[in-house]
Amino acid sequence: MTALSAGTGVDAAALPLAHAPLPASDVASGSPTTATVALGEIRGVEIGVWAMTPGTVSDTEADEVFVVLSGHARIAFLDPALPAIEVGPGSVVRLAEGMRTEWTVTKTLRKIYVA
């Protein structure tokens, strides 16, 4: 864990991340891996960096807002059924707890999340 103290900073785009494979039951295609580094917590809200390599996976979301730093993905909303979105550098997205999604990452995605 890379904790940030008040008055400190980190280059989130270059932060080293340790990737691990996803459970086979979540993977629809490819061999994607993910990595997460929690940077800290403010009033019970976690801030961190998350990344996923190319592939397609299903997920059940937590309450979260994120900003994409690099990469590209398509997020399909399965439940509730909503239009899919394309995300890339600069995209800001809000997810709600319990949403069922399918992420298709075409270029390794890295984001800063607040959850």
The answer to whether 49 touches 11, Cβ cutoff 8 Å, is no
Q: What pTM does this model have? A: 0.93
Q: What is the pLDDT of residues 9-46, one digit of tens each?
A: 999 999 999 999 999 999 999 999 999 999 999 999 99
The answer to whether 5 touches 47, Cβ cutoff 8 Å, is no
Residue closest to 57 by CA, chosen among 78, 87, 83, 82: 78
Does residue 1 have a pLDDT over 50?
Answer: no
Torsion angle of the four alpha carbons 30, 106, 99, 67, in this order, in degrees rounded to the nearest 10: 140
Residues 6+ away with beta carbon under 8 Å from 52: 32, 33, 34, 73, 103, 105, 108, 109
Q: What is the pLDDT of residues 80-95, one digit of tens each?
A: 999 999 999 999 999 9
